[in-house]
Structure 1
Amino acid sequence: MANQSTYKKFNYCDLGLIDYQSAWDLQKEIFDKRIDDKTDDTFFLLEHSHTYTLGKVAHIENLLMNDSQLKELGISVYEIDRGGDITYHGPGQIVGYPIINLKNWKEDTHEYLRSLEQVIINVCKEYGLETERKTNYTGVWIGERKIAAIGIKISRWVTMHGFAFNINTDLNFFNGIIPCGIKEKGVTSLSKELGNEISIQEVKEKLVNQFKIIFGYDDYQVIEREFYINNFEHLPLNKF
């Protein structure tokens, strides 16, 4: 920890269901403000409409659908500035976007990735599921099935993008891609592993609590969705 005596807090917002472009624009706005120290660390949880995103090192051949198939299923496609290959976002999947300054935690990209994974590992454990990491891959796994994908961007030690955690996700949408460019492994979800639908709100509460613990925060403030959607040019700073 950079300074054990520093009181650490973050702003948390549940953005609900939001299209990818709107969330990406909001991320970039808050990312810039965090770099300039004009807002506090921020953690968004949300669901996206059906979307495939291709990271900076993605191979377009891992997108298996043509334009007419994408249009028929209502799937948007974005080439974005995170690491990693191609992944899917959609309803029933919780996406987490931490926009935090690692100078106040650890200036260590690898440790940040591992800690994001640990947040999800701990939540899965609360549901009685044992998960693992793979040596050559990021994300959280149950056997050969990925339950959560990680893809981040870090600039000047401020983070954006984050994780996608399959809860009640329709896994059929992963058939349109080679997830993360890994042909030989599959995907799964919390509900598939447990055999019943899971409360998205309950999982979000567990994720926020584990995020607070893993990253050493003392507290957080809940910011309403409408504040960011309608008024994010006046972001909260040092509200504690």
Structure 2
Amino acid sequence: MATAFHEFRDRRAAGRALALALTAYGGQADVRVLALPRGGVPVAFEVARALHAPLDVFVVRKLGVPGHEEYAMGAIASGEVQVLDEEVVRRLGISEAAIDRVVNAERAELERREQRYRCARPAPEVRGCRVLLVDDGLATGATMRAAVRALRLLDPARIVVCSPVASVQAAALLREEADEVVCLGTPAHFRAVGAWYVDFSQTTDEEVMELLGRRP
């Protein structure tokens, strides 16, 4: 059911609010917080700090429709995971060759971000752990869906999708994929993630690196 909802001041404020809904995971040795960069990192930083849990990133890239890149037709994630919205692909008549071009371009960016954000650090060990997978908002859910599927390959004990705000449709979709979905609001008229933030300025690579350097 959609709920009444109000704006967050910024991503850090949203993270502090989200952490209050995750207190049951605080101080637990098997809990890991993974952020979807870039926008999910400031949110996840506040969650990890409040819960005294390790913080890292889980890199995922949206696959935008050619010529309308803001509209997702799917996503890719670490581990060669690819999720396509077959209905969108079919309705828009997107060819396999066009999909391949988008995937190749986003794969290169995914690898660049992994190398930059990790700075030679190994990927986090999540086998047998409870993982809080955090983003700043869920519009279609495609990117988070790819992240959940990729994370399953690493054999965590539990995957909890965490977001300050989500569309009703995305929240429902992800409840089918994750073990749990924690979302502070599912506005009936969602519009876009940025509509629910007073300050939704782009998170930069430099901010991601700075927050990861201060990880709890």
How does the TM-score come out when normalised to structure 1? 0.27
Q: Which has the higher strand share?
A: 1
Higher gyration radius (CA): 1
Write 1 or 2 for the structure with the bigger share of helix.
Answer: 2
